[in-house]
Amino acid sequence: MSRRKARVSVLLALVIAVLAGTALFRVSQQVQTAEDAERHLRISVASEKEAIRVLDAEWDYLNRPDRLEKLSQEYLNMQQPHTEQIEHTPAVLPDVMSPVIEAQTIALDKGARTPMRVPYPRTKPQRQQPRDFQRLLDDVAPAAGGAR
């Protein structure tokens, strides 16, 4: 083995050692940072959980039935319904308003797959079409005394 070759191998070994050391150092730093971040996350999760516990307890404390009852008596003009006020036979009630658009049965292909969304009848009235000017005039005219 020549001297030159030996020197190159020594240098190579040193470079590799330094590179390996640096890489190891980096990894260990990353692990430490990650562990630190994880610890912080754990702590903040624990802290949030505790905050939730406290808020839960406070929510149920503030919603005690006796407190709600007192508040409603004080601030709301409402009372518990008396059984006499409830209609005992719902059949005698007049029918409720019929929907603006009647429900339509949607015919489906027997072979087709079930559609993801089936449009349901809307109870809200559809937006009115913008009227054209002539129709507007026609509408206004009788009130104005009959222009035509």
Residues that bind another protein (CB under 8 A): 3, 6, 10, 25, 29, 32-33, 36, 39-40, 42-44, 46-47, 50, 53-54, 56-58, 60-61, 63-66, 69, 80-84, 86, 88-89
Minimum CB distance to another protein, residue 43 (Å): 5
Nearest to another protein of 86, 107 (CB atom): 86
Least distance in angstroms from the C-beta of 87 to another protein: 9
CB of 95 to another protein, least distance (A): 19
b/e burial code for range 21-51 (CB count within 10 A of at least 16 → b) = eeeeeeeeeeeeeeeeeeeeeeeeeeeeeee
**Taking the CA of residue 51 as centre, how many other CA atoms within 13 Å lie in the half-sphere pointing to its CB?**
6
- Let me know: does 147 contact 141? Beta carbons within 8 Å: yes
Minimum CB distance to another protein, residue 15 (Å): 15
Task: Using the minimum distance from each CB to another protein, give the nearer residue, 16 or 46.
Answer: 46
**Residues, the chain, total?**
148
| Whole-angstrom distance, CA of residue 61 vs CA of residue 63 | 5
- 18 versus 103: smaller Cβ distance to another protein: 18
C-beta closer to another protein: residue 53 or 131: 53
> CA torsion, points 121, 124, 129, 135, in degrees to nearest 10?
120
In the complex, the smallest distance separating the C-beta of residue 27 from another protein, rounded to whole angstroms, is 13
Q: Which is nearer to another protein, 60 or 102 (CB)?
A: 60
Q: Which tokens hold the place of 83?
A: 């059984």
